[in-house]
Amino acid sequence: MSTQYRDKLETFENQFPGRDYLIEIECPEFTSVCPKTGQPDFGALAFEYIPDTKCVELKSLKLYLQCFRNEGIFYEDITNRILDDFVAVVEPRMVLLTAEFTPRGGISSTITVHYPES
């Protein structure tokens, strides 16, 4: 699995590492490209995570996600790749990533992945 965009993600120190608390991040304007047709795909990403020692810096997350704008990649691949990169950099206690893609050909898809795996 490629990690080519992972270095875009930045973190800052969690000021409350002894407390479990939930951070929710909504990214309603995610775009990528269908690898079969070359047409744009549109979706919304929702991150829910419990930080450990680090929190994700939001501007870096935005710039990281923009890297996929012209990448031809399937929904399942991109959702799992984003989760893998997020976990590798942020090292959260828990993260749930939900990717809801707008309909293409009358069919919409929602991909949900989580760490740690259950």
Give the active site residue among 7, 20, 27, 41: 41
- How many other CB atoms are there within 10 angstroms of residue 73's CB atom? 16
Q: Clarify whether 41 is annotated catalytic.
A: yes
Q: Clarify whether 34 is annotated catalytic.
A: yes
Got the DSSP string for 42-62? EEEEEEEEE-SSEEE-HHHHH
Residue pair 24/61 in contact (Cβ under 8 Å)? The answer is no
Q: Hunting for tokens 């984003």 — which residue is that?
A: 82
User: Could you tell me the two tokens for 27?
Assistant: 């990214």
Helix (H) or strand (E) holding 29: strand 23-33
What is the distance between the alpha carbons of residues 61 and 25, in angstroms, rounded to a whole number?
Answer: 10
Give the active site residue among 34, 52, 77, 84: 34
Residues carrying an active site annotation: 34, 41
